[in-house]
Amino acid sequence: MRSVFHRWAMPGLALACVVATTSAASAQSEYGTIKGRLVWGGSEVPPEKNLIEKGKAPKDAETCGNSGPIVSRELVVDPATKGISYGFVYLARPNGSNPEAVKALLTKSPKVELDQKGCEFLPYAQCFHQDQKLVIKSSDPVNHNVRYAAFANSPFNQILAPNGQVEISLVAEKRPIVVACDIHSWMKSYLMVFDHPFFAVTGKDGSFEIKGVPAGTQNVVLWQEKVGYVDTKTKAKGIPVTVTAGEVTDLGDVKIEPSQVK
């Protein structure tokens, strides 16, 4: 396994977006893998913060937080591994394409879902291809309001009835889309939409993996809600990383330092 760290050692950036792979033969001749971990660089792990205590929601308390507190997902650090969840990792303007990876992704998951359950958006952070349909639904017995504003897509603001759903098509965006509910002010989630399949969301231990990446120089971006772009020098352009066909490029631990948190 080939390990490449490049400039990731400088202080700098859930889940569920794993790219579908091509055939083994194609992967060996044309594509490689990028992996790594997003981790907390401080000695002390930030404590968990409750947005709503159990049974104390100011609205619809019989549904919202009735089984336990509603926890903030803005900065989730695993005490055991110091991994940071819900970070977006993706290629900026990919050098090359992988049509088979797109085809496999759409075949496996033609639609992705954003649920509202217990007055939380689930999943909190999600990324998908623009050819996948987004289904926004509610598993709650109360009304929700779903609202977002974006750059490339029209704004959306709609009441979602109990156990209702709506299907949406979105085009690729350069920045995350913030989804909110005006009825329950603490509710929030993030979406990222791409026109390529080279993306991931960091898991509980901060790990991420992007498969089927075209060999050559690629620019990798890491973004996290409380930090924004992890690498403050390259920002949305991304850090150059060399991908070798048939090999794994391991970026190692990419750290977020306490001083970076807004």
Residue 248 lies in a domain: yes
Residue 236 lies in a domain: yes
Strand, coil or helix: 11: coil
- Torsion angle, alpha carbons of 87, 93, 94, 100, to 10: 90
Say yes or no to pLDDT of 21 above 80: no
- Which residues are CB-neighbours of 211 under 8 A, at least 6 positions away? 18, 19, 20, 21, 27, 31, 33, 101
* pLDDT, tens digit (0-9, with 9 covering 90-100), for 183-240: 999 999 999 999 999 999 999 999 999 999 999 999 999 999 999 999 988 999 999 9
Strand order of the β-sheet with 144-148 is: 125-129, 188-194, 177-180, 144-148, 156-160
Residue 43 lies in a domain: yes
Residue 4 lies in a domain: no
Question: Do residues 145 and 159 make contact, with C-beta atoms less than 8 angstroms apart?
Answer: yes
Residue 15 lies in a domain: no
- Average per-residue pLDDT in the chain? 91
Structural domain total, the chain: 1
The CATH number linked to 149 is: 2.60.40.420
* pLDDT, tens digit (0-9, with 9 covering 90-100), for 157-166: 999 999 999 9
Residue 159 lies in a domain: yes
Smallest CA-to-CA distance from 77 within 226, 209, 228, 230 is with: 226
List the single range of 1-5, 43-47, 99-103, 136-140 with lowest mean pLDDT.
Answer: 1-5
pLDDT value at residue 18? 44
Which tokens go with 44? Answer: 């002390």
**DSSP state for residue 238 in the 8-state scheme:** -
Say yes or no to pLDDT of 170 above 60: yes
Q: Which domain holds residue 190?
A: 24-260
- Residue 136, strand partner residues: 114, 166
Which tokens go with 160? Answer: 């979602």
Tell me the C-alpha distance between 149 and 180, whole Å.
10
* pLDDT, tens digit (0-9, with 9 covering 90-100), for 49-97: 999 999 999 999 999 999 999 999 999 999 999 999 999 999 999 999 9
Which tokens go with 8? Answer: 């990731």
- Torsion angle, alpha carbons of 183, 189, 190, 191, to 10: -80
Quote the pTM value. Answer: 0.89
